[in-house]
Each structure stands twice: as structure tokens, then as C-alpha cells.
Amino acid sequence: MSHVIYKTLGSRPIRAAGGSGVWLEDHEGRRYLDTCGGVGVSSLGHRHPRITRAAERASRDLAWAHAGAFTSDPAEELAEMLAAWSGGLPHVQFLSGGSEAMELALKVAYQYHAERGDTGRGLVISRRQSYHGSTLAMLAISGNRQRRSVFEPLLGPAEFVSPCYEYRDRLPDESADAYAARLADELEATILRVGADNVAAFTAETVVGSTSGAVPPVPGYLSRVKEVCHRHGVLLVLDEVMAGLGRTGQHFAYLDDSVVPDIVTVGKGLAAGYAPVSAVLIGPHVHQALAAGSGVLQNGQTNVNHTLACAVALEVQRTIVDDDLLGNVRKQGEHLRRSLAERFSGNPAVGDIRGRGLFVGIEFVDPEDGHSPLDGGARLSSAMKRTGLERGVLLYPGHGTVDGETGNHLLLAPPFIAETGDIDEMVARLGEVVDACL
Ligand code: PLP
């Protein structure tokens, strides 16, 4: 009997033992081609020699010193690097996971308003079909119904507006620009309905990840919602825990949309799975409000700005730059989407292939009409995952894609180091799994 609590309590997961590059390995030496970085995490693949050396070095130098009294070179250098890439968010704090980063982002948003005497602004507007983390406060602002599940009675108030989901929601005779304007109007109407004086922040995943499968915004959407937010004194908080730090081919996904939010969070790709670390980046005006007010960030956690985690993340980010992995993400991302389109061109159950960089979603549809959501539910997701493992390919399927109930998708988020041959192998193997399961 194992003493470890697993996600599925009655079934023991595969015992991972090693890996190399885009392959993971179990304790019996079976190999799994990683099409999803686990959950969008392993951007440098497995057992990257440069990162394992850096982790060893960092643990010899200094593992941890409490951020209440100390800072460290790795934290300072990593913050400087992220701030320089962010396009205008110069203040950074490191935490341990994406949920914590989002939680701090919203605490900072609330504190920003409170320090300026706007204490009524406690409400967050979020989007349906979103996921921002597993803590109770983050589930409260996550539209993802499966993840809210049993905790629903405990979740605090939040408002929800439509996601930007072009494949399903843009009207046939509507331009992308008109669609973006309609969504921005919906946000503004919601702010006015609940009272702008009550709203602290609007939050969105720049590119939606696990809930609907790599759904990017249409051009102009983010700049329009930012305009609405600022007209009403509401902060724009972008969640790039999954989409950020190279996954879309940019250090920050929003840079492709020509906007800079007031606050952004990053996580998974920051240390690419080599350390548990996330970050919140905040704009100068937000920082200034706190500095000129109480002068204290009202948050303290044991592992803030963790020295070892920052050292590992710093090496991960330097590697991405030194090896021009953003260029590779863009190149291989295009190759991946093109290859998937070719592989599934005659398959009426594949409705949409979308995404940015190496962040790609395949949405399945009812083959009868080629557009209605497929109703495969959790059974289809499990079958795809299981069949993939049996055939040596690690997949990230999802269901409830469209509205929390209907729709099925696959999310691809391969390591940034993937080469053309690896991508071809991924498409071949996942194609076989899809054929077997649909
Ligand atoms: N935000 C987004 C967009 C995510 O995808 C996730 C995790 O999947 C989170 C927040 C929460 O991150 P974590 O699981 O590291 O707490």
C-alpha cells in the first residue's frame, strides 16, 4: 500500500523515474513522448544538463533565506530580467505556484484601491470558461465548473462575462473587430451594472489554457478591454501562468496583442518544472500607490523570493534566450499546427486547430454536422489519456470545452526544445490515439 494521496484515490499513477529531452521515462524504462509538458510546464524538457548543473550549484551556494530580512542575487537578477521583458511592469515578487501568484495579484489590486481610499472595490470580474487556480479565492473567480465542483457553497462572489472564443461565439457576419467591440461592451455593461466603485479588477487568461484548449483572443480584444477597465478605474490582471514565458513565442503572451496589463502572473514555465516557482509583476502606478500609502505589501509567505527556486528559474530563462528557443517555439508551433491540419484534414470530428506558438488546441466536434460540440465527456478524455499512455505518448485532453458541460479538446504544449522530427512523431502518435478513441 502507498501512503501517498493520489488525484484518483483508487488508482496508482505511473512511477516516473527519469527522462531526457521530450521523453519521460517510468521506473520500468518505458518511454512517453511529452506533447504537453505535463500541464504546460516542462518547457525545457526533462533532465536538461544546464539546469541540473545550475540547481546543484545553487543548492551549494544558498538554498533559502527569509525574504523578510534578505534578498539574493538570483531573485534580483531574475526580477530584472522579467521586468525588462514585460514592457512596463518593473516590480516583481516570486511565489511558489500559479494559484498563489494569482491570489497575490488580486490582493495587490484590492490593496491598490484601498490605499487610495477606494475601499469599496472588492469585486473581481472574470470570464466564464477560465481557470485561475485551486485555492478557494481563485476558484471563486474561475469559470471552470468542473474545478469549482463540490466547493461551490464556499466560493465568494464574483461576476463573469463571456470569454473571447472566436470559434464558437463570433457571429457569421461579424468581423473580428466587431466581435472584440461586442465583448468590450459586455464588460463595460457589467461594470456599470455592479457599479464601477465596487470593482477592483478584471482578470483573464491571455490565451485560455486547460479549460477550453489554447484559445487566443482576437486582435484588438485585449486593448479594448483595457480601455474599458481604465475608463472605470478597474485594474487589468492577466493570468499567464500557463501562456507566459515563451509558450506562445513571446516572453509575455500579451506582447502579441500590443497591450501591457496593470498586473500579470506567470508560473509553470518560469522554472520549467525544475523548481516550484511563480511570479507577480506589477506596474509602476500600482506599486507607487502601495509605496505612498502604507508602504507595506500586505502579504507574507515562507517561500517568497526563494533563493534556490529563483536561481533555477534564472538559468531556465537564460537558456531560453541563449538557445533562441522563442524562435524555435514560433517555428515549431507553425509546423505543429500545419501538420495537425494535414493529419486531420479528412476527419469531420476535428472542428478547430488553434493557438499560438507551442500552445495549441484541437477542438473535437460532432462528426454528423462538423460543428456542434462533441459530447464525449470525461469518458473520452480518460480514454485518450489512457490510450496515449499505452502507446507511449503523454496527452492533455479536456472536456466541458464549450460551456463546462459539452465539448472535448486536446491541449498541446510541447517542450520548447522540440525539433521537427519530435513534432512529427507527436502528431503521428496522437493521431493514432484520436483515431482509436473517436
Ligand atoms: N492560472 C492558470 C491559467 C493555470 O493554468 C493554472 C494551473 O493550471 C493556475 C493559474 C494555477 O497554477 P498552479 O496549479 O501552479 O497553482
Residue 287: per-residue pLDDT: 98
Q: Is residue 118 part of a domain?
A: yes
Q: φ, ψ for residue 49 (rounded to 5)? A: -60, -35
Mean pLDDT of 359-388: 97
Counting ligand 1 atoms within 8 A of each CB, the residue from 241, 245, 264, 278 with the most, and so the one to mutate, is: 241
* Residues 383 and 310 reside in one and the same domain: no
Residues 239 and 300 in one domain: yes
Residue 10 has pLDDT above 90, yes or no: no
Under a CB-based contact definition with an 8 Å cutoff, are residues 166 and 176 in contact?
yes
Burial class (CB in 10 A: 0-12, 13-18, 19+), 186: middle
Q: Are residues 365 and 329 in the same domain?
A: yes
Flag whether pLDDT at 278 surpasses 90. Answer: yes
480601455: which residue's cell?
Answer: 227
Mean pLDDT of the chain: 97
- Give the per-residue pLDDT at 407: 97
Residue 381 lies in domain:
16-48+324-437
CA of 239 to the centre of ligand 1 (A): 9
Report CA-CA distances (Å) from 373 to 61, 128, 217, 411.
53, 17, 20, 16
**Is residue 315 included in any domain, yes or no?**
yes
Distance CA 407, CA 422 (A): 28
In this structure, are residues 362 and 353 in contact, taking their beta carbons and an 8 Å threshold? yes
- Pick the atom of ligand 1 nearest to 240's CA: 3
How far is the C-alpha of 367 from the C-alpha of 374, rounded, in Å? 8
The answer to whether residues 270 and 146 belong to one domain is yes
CATH of the domain at 204: 3.40.640.10
| Cα 97 to ligand 1 centroid, rounded to whole Å | 7
Res 16 pLDDT > 90? yes
Q: How many CB atoms lie within 10 A of CB 379?
A: 12
Q: What is the pLDDT of residues 149-200, one digit of tens each?
A: 899 999 999 999 999 999 999 999 999 999 999 999 999 999 999 999 999 9
| 241 Cα–ligand 1 center, Å | 6
Residue 344 shares a structural domain with residue 296? no
Residue 97 lies in a domain: yes
2 part of a folded domain: no
Q: What is the mean pLDDT of residues 100-108?
A: 98
297 is a domain residue? yes
Specify whether 138 is located in the same domain as 286: yes
**Cβ(371)–Cβ(168) below 8 Å:** no
Q: How confident is the model at residue 146 (pLDDT cuts 50, 70, 90)?
A: confident
Per the listing, cell 527519469 goes with 18
Residue-wise burial string across 396-426, b where 16 or more C-beta atoms lie within 10 A, e elsewhere: bbbbbbbebebbbbbbbbbbbbbeeebbebb
Query: Does 245 have pLDDT greater than 90?
Result: yes
Q: What is the CATH number of the domain that holds 361?
A: 3.90.1150.10
In this prediction, residue 229 has a pLDDT band, given cuts at 50, 70 and 90, of very high
Does the pLDDT value for residue 120 go beyond 90? yes
How many Å separate Cα 197 from the centre of its chain? 29
Characterize 202-221 residue by residue with b for buried, 16 or more Cβ atoms within 10 angstroms of its Cβ, and e for exposed. bbbbbbbbbbbbbbbbbebb
- Is residue 4 a part of any domain in this protein? no
pLDDT, tens only, 340-371: 999 999 999 999 999 999 999 999 999 999 99
How far apart CA 294 and CA 116 sit, in angstroms, is 10
Asked if 282 and 330 sit in the same domain, the reply is no
pLDDT of res. 344: 98
Ligand 1 first shell, C-beta below 6 A: 39, 97-99, 102, 131-134, 205, 209-210, 239, 241-242, 267
Q: Residue 10 falls within a domain, yes or no?
A: no
Q: Which of 126, 132, 207 to mutate to test the pocket of ligand 1 (most atoms within 8 A of CB)?
A: 132
Yes or no: say if 277 and 317 are a contact pair by the CB < 8 Å rule: no
Of 322, 344, 370, which one is at a domain's C-terminal end?
A: 322
| For residues 49-65, average pLDDT | 97
Mutate to test the pocket of ligand 1, among 99, 203, 277 (most ligand atoms within 8 A of CB): 99
Mark which of 302, 322, 342 sits at the end of a domain.
322
Same domain as 226, residue 102: yes
Q: Are 173 and 98 in contact (CB under 8 A)?
A: no
Q: 272 C-alpha to center of ligand 1: Å?
A: 13
The number of folded domains in the chain is 2
- pLDDT tens-place string over residues 202-214: 999 999 999 999 9
Atom index in ligand 1 nearest the CA of residue 100 equals: 16
25 pLDDT exceeds 90?
Answer: yes
Closest CA to 308 of 42, 18, 67: 67
Residue 8 grid coordinates: 484518483
Domain assignment of residue 317, yes or no: yes
Domain termination site, one of 269, 304, 322? 322
Does 253 lie in the same domain as 374? no
Alpha helices in 272-324 (DSSP H): 284-292, 307-322
Mean pLDDT computed over 78-97: 98
Q: In this structure, are 89 and 28 located in the same domain?
A: no
Q: What does the pLDDT look like over 247-270, one tens digit per residue?
A: 999 999 999 999 999 999 999 999
HSE value, Cβ hemisphere, 13 Å, CA-based, for 97: 7
- Specify the pLDDT at position 145: 86
Tell whether 275 and 404 lie within a shared domain: no
Beta-strand pair 123-127/159-161: parallel
Give yes or no: residues 219 and 309 share one domain: yes
**132 Cα: distance to centroid of ligand 1 (angstroms):** 6
CA of residue 111 relative to chain centroid, distance = 24
Secondary structure E strands in 72-174? 91-95, 123-127, 159-161
**Residue 353 confidence (pLDDT):** 98
